[in-house]
């Protein structure tokens, strides 16, 4: 399955919905989308991974890269993931301690985002 | 002992072929009798090992094919070979990963170590070999049927 991306704004967050496989082939597409939304001014990004079937280290690298980019600008990124297969990958790489992980988009966007630092 | 490969695959160092390698490796694993609950591990490990080889070939501008060998004669064994020997990688550091690549490299190592069974990364003169082994259920010879062993 190819990668499909969609964005929407919810309560001050930019939600990037990711569908399909994020791997060494498709990760560059996700990177381009995240860079685009961050450069457009999104400060608080939620990556919705609920419909991701496969995620490898390249995809993880893209997510970490986006988080770094956001934090340099005083923003933040959280993830929505309810798939045990993917959650295991976050635990193995200790990224479950780096990203805030939520079970639903509603939970990820329930609290109003913090204003930009500085 | 190095098993005799029953399936071999060679592909140019392009990311899209990693997916093909994953599909083939999982199909062979299933046929070999690797249990269903391990197939996600196989899928991820083969993808990481092949992705590593592709990244190394691209990083050092190597035109050789990435090679994958699978053997189901005994435990399911997968070997992924790159052609980045010491001569190639001992450069001035211009091929070193940076940014997202560097993060991905660290996570790749962590994932490979965690999901590949009996992982070995062997350095040969011609390049490196990632060797992974998974247990299989006992196969009834000639019938194609498997039973738990």
Q: What is the DSSP string of B8-19?
A: EEEE-S-THHHH
A113 located within any domain: no
B82 located within any domain: yes
- Closest to A101 in 3D by CA, of A34, A36, A62, A46: A46
Name the more confident of B96 and B63: B63
Tokens describing residue B89: 């990688």
B87 located within any domain: yes
pLDDT at B95 over 80: no
Q: State the CATH number of the domain containing residue B44.
A: 3.30.565.10
Would you place residue B58 in the very low, low, confident or very high pLDDT band (cuts 50, 70, 90)? very high
For residue A17, the distance in angstroms to the closest alpha carbon of chain B comes to 21
B99 located within any domain: yes
**What Å distances lie between residue B38 and A64, A91, B26, B89, B98, CA to CA?**
27, 18, 10, 34, 32
Number of structural domains, chain B? 1
- ipTM reported for the complex, 2 dp: 0.85
Which residues in chain B (54-83) have CB-CB distances under 8 A to chain A?
54-55
Q: State the CATH number of the domain containing residue A83.
A: 3.30.750.24
Among B39, B41, B44, which would you mutate to test the A interface (most chain A Cβ atoms within 10 Å of its Cβ)? B44
pLDDT at B19 over 90: yes
Question: Quick one: average pLDDT of A29-47?
Answer: 96
Q: Which residue of B has its CA nearest to A84?
A: B40
Quick one: pLDDT at residue B108?
A: 87
Question: Quick one: average pLDDT of B12-18?
Answer: 95
**B24-56 tens-digit pLDDT:** 999 999 999 999 999 999 999 999 999 999 999
Q: Which residue of B has its CA nearest to A24?
A: B15
Rounded Cα gap, residues B45 and B8, in angstroms: 17
B44 located within any domain: yes
How many CA within 13 A on the CB side of residue B76? 25
B1 located within any domain: no
């Amino acid at each position: 399955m190819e990668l499909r991306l969609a964005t929407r704004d919810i309560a001050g967050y930019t939600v990037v919905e990711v569908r399909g496989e994020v791997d060494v082939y498709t990760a560059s597409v996700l990177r381009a989308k995240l860079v685009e939304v961050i450069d457009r001014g999104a400060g608080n990004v939620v990556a919705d991974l609920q419909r991701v079937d496969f995620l490898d280290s390249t995809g993880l690298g893209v997510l970490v890269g986006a988080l770094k980019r956001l934090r340099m600008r005083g923003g933040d990124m959280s993830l929505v993931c309810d798939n045990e297969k993917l959650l295991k990958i976050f635990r193995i790489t200790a990224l479950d301690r780096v990203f805030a992980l939520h079970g639903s988009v509603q939970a990820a966007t329930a609290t109003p985002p913090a204003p930009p630092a500085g | 002992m190095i098993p005799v490969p029953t399936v071999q695959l060679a592909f140019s160092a392009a990311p899209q072929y990693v997916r093909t390698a994953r599909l083939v490796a999982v199909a062979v694993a299933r046929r070999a009798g690797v249990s269903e609950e391990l197939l996600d591990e196989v899928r991820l490990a083969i993808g990481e090992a092949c992705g590593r080889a592709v990244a190394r070939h691209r990083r050092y501008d190597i035109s050789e094919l990435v090679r994958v060998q699978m053997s189901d004669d005994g435990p399911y064994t997968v070997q992924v070979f790159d052609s980045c020997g010491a001569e190639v990688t001992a450069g001035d550091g211009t091929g070193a990963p940076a940014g997202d690549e560097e993060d991905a490299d660290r996570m790749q190592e962590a994932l490979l170590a965690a999901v590949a069974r009996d992982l070995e990364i062997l350095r040969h003169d011609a390049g490196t070999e990632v060797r992974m082994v998974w247990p299989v259920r006992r196969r009834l010879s000639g019938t194609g049927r498997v039973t738990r062993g």
